[in-house]
């Protein structure tokens, strides 16, 4: 019995590895972060309404609200809701800035309008800056890289890189521009997976 209690004590005292949230949990966490962001800033909003196109989404209407920090003009969050059921969140996007005002990460969760509680996509985007270059890498909840983007100026020349996961390979990652964009980027995505 003492051994079982000792083992139980060890299990309770060991920190558990952070598990990736499910897509519905990520959606809820991203929306909760949106609420915290707008609560701590003086904001101004811009709204847009419309109707989805396409056969599957025909008849679904939406209202998109963008929330900006009133003092800096930075986009804090963007939420797209069902126009008829505002509690049904179709997408939520939350931007996190550092003390200098640079975007360092953002969260994006997108649900289909007929299934707002189960997102079809959930992403963490980590941003990086190197001189005149701004790059970001998009992670799926399991850590797979989904997309990479970089733009700016390198050695007096314009740079724009846009790579879907299928295009990220030895050939594309060996170029000087790619290396300048992504070599210094952090790869420790796990601490940022839960929206905060």
Per DSSP, what are the bridge partners of residue 125? 106, 138
Q: Is the pLDDT of residue 17 over 50?
A: no
What residues make up the domain containing 161?
Answer: 19-192
Q: Is residue 52 situated within a structural domain?
A: yes
Q: Is the pLDDT of residue 181 over 90?
A: yes
pLDDT at position 20:
86
Contact between 146 and 138 (Cβ < 8 Å): yes
Q: Is residue 13 situated within a structural domain?
A: no
Provide the whole-model pTM.
0.86
Total of domains in the chain: 1
Q: Is residue 11 situated within a structural domain?
A: no
Q: Is the pLDDT of residue 23 over 60?
A: yes
pLDDT at position 175:
94
pLDDT in tens, 70-127: 999 999 999 999 999 999 999 999 999 999 999 999 999 999 999 998 999 999 999 9
Q: Is the pLDDT of residue 164 over 80?
A: yes
pLDDT at position 89:
96
Q: Is the pLDDT of residue 9 over 60?
A: no
Q: Is residue 47 situated within a structural domain?
A: yes
pLDDT at position 120:
95
Contact between 167 and 146 (Cβ < 8 Å): no
Task: Output the six-digit token pair for 156.
Answer: 């007096």
pLDDT in tens, 32-85: 999 999 999 999 999 999 999 989 999 999 999 999 999 999 999 999 999 999
Question: Going edge to edge, which strands form the sheet with 43-51?
Answer: 43-51, 61-69, 75-82, 89-97, 103-112, 115-130, 132-139, 145-154, 157-164
Q: Is residue 179 situated within a structural domain?
A: yes
CB atoms within 10 A of CB 192: 17
Q: Is residue 125 situated within a structural domain?
A: yes
Q: Among residues of the chain, what percentage have pLDDT more than 70?
A: 91
Q: Summarize the confidence of residues 138-162 as an average pLDDT.
A: 95
């Amino acid at each position: 019995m003492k051994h079982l209690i000792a083992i139980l004590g060890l299990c309770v005292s060991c920190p558990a590895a952070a598990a990736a949230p499910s897509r519905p949990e990520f959606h809820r966490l991203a929306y909760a972060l949106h609420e915290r962001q707008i609560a701590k800033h003086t904001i101004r909003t811009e709204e847009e309404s419309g109707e989805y196109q396409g056969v599957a989404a025909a008849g679904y209407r939406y209202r998109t609200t963008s929330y900006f920090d009133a003092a800096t003009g930075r986009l804090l969050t963007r939420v797209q809701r069902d126009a008829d059921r505002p509690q049904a969140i179709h997408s939520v996007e939350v931007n996190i800035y550092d003390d200098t005002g640079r975007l360092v990460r953002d969260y994006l969760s997108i649900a289909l309008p007929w299934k707002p509680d189960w997102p079809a996509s959930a992403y963490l985007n980590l941003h990086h800056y190197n001189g005149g270059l701004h790059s970001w890498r998009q992670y799926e909840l399991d850590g797979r890289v989904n997309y990479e983007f970089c733009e700016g100026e390198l050695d007096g020349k314009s740079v724009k890189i846009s790579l879907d996961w299928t295009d990220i390979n030895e050939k594309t990652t060996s170029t000087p521009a790619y290396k300048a964009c992504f070599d210094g980027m952090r790869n420790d995505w796990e601490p940022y997976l839960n929206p905060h």
